[in-house]
A and B are shown apart, each in its own frame.
Chain A
C-alpha cells in the first residue's frame, strides 16, 4: 500500500455515529417569524440557481437568469441569488443576461459529471468557460482514481484546474455519493483544500444520494480544521437533494454552529439547487401574505 501523502496527514477518522447524532440535533432547531424570514432571504441569496440538462437552451438559460436577478417579481425587496450555474456552452448567453446584476456566473467544467475526459480536454473546458465569462468553475474530481488510492493524481488535477481558472473561483465537486464512507469524504475534502480549492462541493446532482446533512457536516468540520491550521477560509456548497426551505434553514443552522457567523454569507456558503428556489419563495410569500402559496404562481425555472 502506498504511503499517505503529507497533505493528508491531518485527516482524522470520522466518528460516523457522532455525525449522525449531531445532525439529528441540528434538525430540531425551531426557527420562527422574523428569524425565519431573514434566514430564508439569506438562503435565497446563497442559491446557485442551476440548470444542467441535456435539453438546456439559450431561452431557458435567459429565463433562469431573469429569475436569478428578480426571484419573485411580486416582491422586489428580495435579494438576487448567489449565482447561476450552467454548462460551458451556455456561459456566453448567461453572461450577457446577467451583466451588471451582481449575480455570479458559475460553469461546470472538466467533463462534468463523470470527469472521465482527458486532462488536457478538461483543462481546455475550464479555459473556455472562463473565457466566455464564467467567474466560478465547478469541477469534478476523478473519483475512480481517488478510490484507487491515487491521491497524488487527484491532487495534481485539482491544482492544474486551479491554475487554469486564473482569477475565477474554483469549486471542487467531490461527488460524495460515490465516495461511500465519511473517512473518504474527509480525505477528499482535505486533499481538495490543500490543492487550492476555493469551495468544496458535495455533489453533481446527477446521482443519489447527493447532498446530505451528514456529509455536509463532515466537510464543514474539515473546513474548520483547515482554517484553524492555515488561517485560510474555504467555502462550502452542498448541492442536489435540498428541495425545501426547512431543510435549507437547518443547513444554515449547521454552518452557524460549526463554522460561525463569518461563513453565513454567499461568499462562503452556497446551495446548489433548482427546485429549492420556489419553495423558499413560497415560504416567503406565506410570511408576507399570511396564506399558503401555490407553485402555480411561480415560474418553473
Chain B
C-alpha cells in the first residue's frame, strides 16, 4: 500500500473574518532548520492592507459599541480555544525554531496573557475615568473611549506570545486592529486567526497580514483611516519613519521594545481617547 500523502495547511491572510489569499498572488517560502521548507506564506500587498483597513473600519462600530463585559467574554473564549489547541501551537512554534520546552512555556504564557487582558476590559474604564472638580454647577467626568483602527506591528519574537502581547491590549480597549505578523513566526499568527475566528470575535476586529514590513510600512503609516500604530521591537529607523508619517493625520503611536511583553493596563490606555462630559447639577 502506498504511504498516505499528508494534507498540508495553506497559510493565507485573515481579513474581515475570512481567510483570503493575497490579492497579489505572491508567496514566500518559510524555511526551518537546515533549510527545510515549512510552508509557503502569503506575501501581503498594500492592497491587502487597504482591504484590511476597510474591514477594520466596518467592524469598529460594533466592537467599540459592544459591552465591556462581552469583549472580555470573547477574549476569554479565545484563551479557552487556545488552551485546547496548545499542543498544535507548541509544535508550530517548534517548527519555526523555538525549542520544544520553551515553545510549551510560551503557549502557556500567551494563554495567561490573553486571560489577563480579558479581565481588564470591564475594569480599565473605572481605573482611567475621573470625576473632575470644576468651579460651576456641573458634574464633570472623563471616560476613556477607543481610538479607532490601530495598525499593529508584532515583535520579531517570541512568535505567539509577542503577537498576543501586541494585539490584546488594542482590542481589549474596543479598537479594531490590522496586525502584521513577525516575519519569522507567520504561522503562529495565522493559526491564531483560526482561534479568533472560532471565538465569536466579530469579523474585521482583528485582521492579520503576513508580509514584508519594509514594503508595507509607507502605506501602513500614511493611511489616513488608520488612527494609531503600535510597533513592537522595531528599529530606530522604523520609529523615525513612523513618527514622521503619523503626523499626517496625527495617529497615536505606541513604540515598545520587543522585550516588553507583560500585561499592562497602560498599554490599553495607549489607544484610548478621553471624553469629558459636563452635566448640569440641580438648580438651586
A residues engaging B (CB < 8 A)? 290-297
Find out whether the CB atom of A294 lies under 8 angstroms from the CB atom of B224.
yes
Please measure, in the bound complex, the distance between the C-alpha atom of A295 and the C-alpha atom of B226, giving whole angstroms.
11
Which residue of chain A has the shortest Cβ distance to B223 in the bound complex?
A292
**Other than the known A291-B224, A294-B225, A297-B224, what 7 A-B pairs have Cβ atoms closer than 8 Å?**
A290-B222, A291-B219, A291-B222, A291-B248, A292-B53, A292-B224, A295-B57
B50 contacts the other chain (CB 8 A): yes
What 0/1 readout, one digit per residue, does chain B (168-201) give for beta carbons within 8 Å of chain A?
0000000000000000000000000000000000
Find out whether the CB atom of A296 lies under 8 angstroms from the CB atom of B224.
yes
Find out whether the CB atom of B224 lies under 8 angstroms from the CB atom of A293.
yes
Tell me which of A292, A293, A295 has the highest count of chain B C-beta atoms within 10 A of its own C-beta. A292
Please measure, in the bound complex, the distance between the C-alpha atom of A293 and the C-alpha atom of B222, giving whole angstroms.
9
User: How big is chain B's contact interface, by range?
Assistant: 10 to 19
B249 contacts the other chain (CB 8 A): yes
> How close is B153's CB to chain A, nearest CB, in angstroms?
17
Please measure, in the bound complex, the distance between the C-alpha atom of A297 and the C-alpha atom of B250, giving whole angstroms.
13
> How close is A291's CB to chain B, nearest CB, in angstroms?
4
> Which listed residue, B53, B225, B248, touches A296 by the CB 8 Å rule?
B225
Find out whether the CB atom of B225 lies under 8 angstroms from the CB atom of A292.
yes
Find out whether the CB atom of A291 lies under 8 angstroms from the CB atom of B225.
no
3 closest Cβ contacts across the A-B interface?
A294-B225, A291-B222, A294-B224
Please measure, in the bound complex, the distance between the C-alpha atom of A297 and the C-alpha atom of B225, giving whole angstroms.
9
Can you list 5 A-B contacts (CB < 8 A)?
A290-B222, A291-B222, A292-B225, A293-B225, A296-B225
Name the A residues within 8 Å of B248 (CB-CB).
291
- List B215-257 residues whose CB lies under 8 Å from chain A: 219, 222-225, 248-249
Please measure, in the bound complex, the distance between the C-alpha atom of A6 and the C-alpha atom of B225, giving whole angstroms.
57
Find out whether the CB atom of A292 lies under 8 angstroms from the CB atom of B249.
no
Please measure, in the bound complex, the distance between the C-alpha atom of A297 and the C-alpha atom of B224, giving whole angstroms.
9
Tell me which of B50, B57, B225, B248 has the highest count of chain A C-beta atoms within 10 A of its own C-beta. B225
> Which listed residue, A292, A294, A297, touches B219 by the CB 8 Å rule?
A292
> How close is B219's CB to chain A, nearest CB, in angstroms?
7
Find out whether the CB atom of A295 lies under 8 angstroms from the CB atom of B222.
no
Please measure, in the bound complex, the distance between the C-alpha atom of A291 and the C-alpha atom of B226, giving whole angstroms.
11
Name the B residues within 8 Å of A291 (CB-CB).
219, 222-224, 248
- List B23-53 residues whose CB lies under 8 Å from chain A: 50, 53
